[in-house]
Amino acid sequence: MKWELDWNDPFTAYLAPFDHLVGDRRTWTTLTETVRGIIGNGSLICQRIATQSPILARVQKGAQRIIRMVTAQTTKRSPELDATHLTAQLRTQAVTHLADTPSAELWLLADGSDLRKPYATAMPYLMQVRALDKSLVPGYRTLTVLGLTPQRRGVLYHRLFSSTAPDFVSEPREVQTALQTVSRAIAPLKARRSVTWLLDSGFDDIAVWRTIWEQDEHLLVRLAHPERLVSLPDGAGGWQAGSIATAREHLPVLAQVASVLTVRKRSQKQAKRQAVTVEIRACPIQVTYETNVRRVGPGERATRTVWVLEVRVLDTTLEPWLLLTDWEVSNATQALRMFQMYRQRWGVEDCFKFTKDCLGWEAVQVLDLEGIRTLVALAWVAAGFLYALGVGLEEESVQLLAKLGGWEPRPNRPPGKMTLTRGLRRLVDLLTTNAFLQAYYQEQGPFPPGLAAFLPSWRPETEL
């Protein structure tokens, strides 16, 4: 049994499209072993990554080999092996992956997330970010866009940035770059799919909405500024001045639906997954804006009719969702569609939790900003592989990984990415252990009696 053969089918095939970024075999080996190590160890600490690779663990200073690669010290023949080109290749693969589905809709989930380094002092260009307790700690900001259909998911954009770095202009500029980059990438998909951006309250920004509408795409965004001035229906077929807060006071109920959410009802001490009743209210408003907001040069004044929605989860402590969309919401069917669509936004939160917890991106320790970006990008490459593994529970390989991860088959309870990752990690441990044992046997001969007692059924390759 050899490592290369064990990984040839799923892993090598997944990484093959990244080959054009690499100019020599040594760098290619370091790249593939790094991604394997990230999956196997669940950390971006280079020493721990190296220990999960029988190749890097056997060479001198395997961790330094990873560091030199991500900081471009040993990639003169691989000048495109950096975060920008790695995420561009992820985007290309994601578009191909998303295109291979009959869905008539494509959802784009954008979100910012903080990479927190509360005890770091020497890492470059640290900025202040929010900790979970709302205090400020050193770290970096990231912006990620996922593409989602009912059957597929793919990483379309990722960038790590800091307000103290020399290449930083502003966070709104980072957002605009993400919007435009993703729109260009998915252009081939727009011919037969409607595209909707599902955004949280951090994107309650008319400049964001303007760009999305210019790209002939839709939006569904959670509002943070109910004081925003808009035009409201006057009841006689016209419009009158007001605010979103004013409109909110008179929203008619369009739908009530039974759903299952993780919430705390008023009589409960803690949240749990349970059946709830959701009430959806909505009405049209008009938003007026300048087309050149945050742009150089003259623009025009534009007005667009949109809908404001309030989603209430009844008899719970959950705050109502205040949403805005350019999709028409004038009946129960349309209101229910918006509720179901916005629930998909939680996929981004799940994605970040998965990447932080299972792939350990906050453990990154490199004293070079581009190196940090490249190593975090490699974590997203690893995440993409794990997403690809979970395309269908009916696949035998997925079921095996799930069981290795501790999953017990239950009705309507498929395994999550964390369970699949745990199963894959156990498989990686098995393969790594076997590779080390084979190497020891070839170099040193039979195992010491104390160790051999733990391996009564193990056999060297020559005897298999």
Q: Which of 12-21, 120-129, 342-351 has the lowest mean pLDDT?
A: 342-351
Q: What is the largest CA-CA distance in the chain?
A: 92
Q: What pLDDT sits at residue 52?
A: 81
Residue 7: pLDDT over 50: no
Structure tokens at 137: 């700690």
- Judge whether residue 397 has pLDDT over 60: no
- Residue 162: what pLDDT? 97
Quote the CA–CA distance of 125 and 164 in Å, as a whole number: 5
Query: Mind listing the pLDDT tens digit for each residue in 293-312?
Result: 888 888 899 999 999 999 99
The residue that leads in pLDDT, 112 or 416, is: 112
Residue 251, Cβ density class (10 Å: 0-12 exposed, 13-18 middle, ≥19 buried)? middle
d(C-alpha 256, C-alpha 264), whole Å:
19
d(CA 68, CA 66): 5
Which is higher by pLDDT, 444 or 192? 192
Q: According to the model, what pLDDT value does residue 417 have?
A: 60
Answer yes or no: are the C-beta atoms of 251 and 308 closer than 8 Å.
yes
User: Is the confidence at residue 458, as pLDDT, over 50?
Assistant: yes
Distance between CA 208 and CA 357 in Å, rounded? Answer: 30
Pick from 210, 240, 203, 209: nearest CA to 225: 203
Strands 153-161 and 218-222: unpaired
How would DSSP label each residue in 303-318? EEEEEEEEEEETTBSP
Lowest mean pLDDT among 263-272, 324-333, 380-389: 380-389
pLDDT score at 165: 96
Give the mean pLDDT of the chain: 86
Q: Per-residue confidence at 350, pLDDT binned at 50, 70, 90?
A: low
Among 36-45, 62-71, 149-158, 190-199, which is the least confidently predicted range? Answer: 36-45
**Percent of all residues in the chain with a pLDDT value above 70, rounded to a whole number:** 85
Q: Tell me what pLDDT residue 257 has.
A: 92
3-state secondary structure (DSSP) of residue 52: coil
Is the pLDDT reported for residue 206 higher than 90? yes
Alpha-carbon distance 13 to 167, whole Å?
Answer: 35
The H-or-E segment that residue 30 falls in is helix 25-41
| Whole-number percent of the chain with pLDDT over 90 | 54
Here the tokens at position 295 are 């742009």
Does the pLDDT value for residue 461 go beyond 80? no
DSSP structural state of residue 284: E
| pLDDT score recorded for residue 4 | 39
Q: Is pLDDT at 150 greater than 70 in this prediction? A: yes
Average pLDDT over residues 282-291: 96
The first and second tokens of residue 329, run together, are: 């919401």
pLDDT digits (tens, 9 = 90+) for 90-104: 999 999 989 988 889
> Phi and psi dihedrals of 456, rounded to 5?
-65, -25
Domain residue limits, the chain: 3-78+355-441
Helix crossing, 369-389 with 417-444: angle to 10°?
100
In contact, 232 and 240? CB cutoff 8 Å:
yes
